[in-house]
Amino acid sequence: MKFTTKVNIKNRKAKFEYHVQDDFVAGIVLMGSEIKSIRLSKVNMQDAYCFVENGEVWIVNLHISSYDNAGFVSHEPLRRRKLLLNRREIDKIDKKLKEQGLTLIPLRLFTTDKGLAKIQIAIGKGKKLYDKRDDIKQKDMKRDMARIKY
């Protein structure tokens, strides 16, 4: 059974705010109304972050809007959601997060060909102000070069 609607929701601010090191693809434990909202792209992952607790990875502040036709059994938009990873991956993430200044951030939420929702998470280190200025300068230079070519 193939699904025609592909969802690819990116956290655009993540690469601006963090130096991305390692990334992982994880499944998400969802309710039925949540996956329907995701397929309609009603997701905001701007303030979302992940953490490891008791050998499990959780995502917090991932806002999945309520599904209009869910009836009385709807979901809470900002609830904690469990991420599904292998034990080896969880141990690797936990070991890296114990280093100073590293955090686990979601990069993008997408659906597979089978219609399953997956999330790409990454270990990142927060950028300093001068790093952000350098990124803006590089982006401006690239845009100016593209204008000159045409």
Structural domain contains residue 50: yes
Per residue in 79-136, pLDDT (tens digit) is 889 999 999 999 999 888 887 878 899 999 998 888 888 999 999 888 787 777 888 8
Confidence tier at 1 by pLDDT (50, 70, 90): very low
Give pLDDT, residue 4: 54
Question: Count of domains in the chain?
Answer: 1
Going through the chain in order, the beta strands assigned E by DSSP cover: 8-10, 18-28, 43-44, 49-53, 56-60, 63-64, 81-84, 102-111, 117-126
Structural domain contains residue 3: no
Structural domain contains residue 1: no
Structural domain contains residue 41: yes
Task: Report how far residue 77's alpha carbon sits from residue 68's, in angstroms, rounded to the nearest whole number.
Answer: 12
Structural domain contains residue 130: yes
Structural domain contains residue 28: yes
* Residue 131: domain span: 8-149
The CATH number assigned to the domain holding 143 equals: 2.40.280.10
Structural domain contains residue 22: yes
Per residue in 130-148, pLDDT (tens digit) is 777 888 888 888 898 888 8
Structural domain contains residue 131: yes
